[in-house]
Amino acid sequence: MQTQIINNFGQVAGWNQHSVVLLGRKLQGISKISYKDSTEVEAIYGAGGYPVGTGDGNYSAECSMTLLKEEVEALMGSLPANSRLQDIPATDIPVLTIRNGKTTKDVIRNFRFTGLGKETSQGDKSVYLEMPCFCTHIDWNVQ
């Protein structure tokens, strides 16, 4: 029996098709980036037991990234002496995805690192640091 493979999307975008730029350089030692946003929506009630409408609340955005210790050190090396990653002024971070020759871009706006900590244990072959971050909003599919 012959099986036909249906490929509706072409090659799909994996980690290798993503790049993240911070302080004018493409991050090499990044293993994870996470960003999402949401808007509060609630049911508005009047007479009866069912909603009569909806109301929109506040918008919120979240972001974080995981970097190799060496990438953190490279970023810190580009800062003045005695500076912390948290001292980097708010900046926009483009996240690019290249798939089937087409580039899409999301922009994490007013990005800042909010902390830095290191943890390593016996047997580790590499040291990854989960970096807590802050952003004000995310622009999706920027042209």
Domain holding 92: CATH number?
Answer: 2.30.110.20
Q: What distance lies between CA 3 and its chain's CA centroid?
A: 38
Range of the domain at 83: 15-142
Q: What is the pLDDT of residues 72-124, one digit of tens each?
A: 999 999 999 999 999 999 999 999 998 888 899 999 999 999 999 888 899 99
Q: What is the pLDDT of residues 1-49, one digit of tens each?
A: 667 777 788 777 888 888 999 988 899 999 999 999 999 999 999 999 9
Q: Domain total for the chain? A: 1
> For the chain, how far is it from start to end, CA to CA, in angstroms?
46
Q: Within a domain: residue 2? A: no
Q: Within a domain: residue 5? A: no
Q: Within a domain: residue 103? A: yes
**Could you tell me the CA-to-CA distances from 137 to 15, 70, 87, 117, 143 in Å, in that order?**
23, 28, 20, 25, 17
Q: Within a domain: residue 6? A: no
Computed from CA positions of residues 88, 82, 78, 129, in that sequence, does the dihedral angle turn out positive or negative? Answer: negative
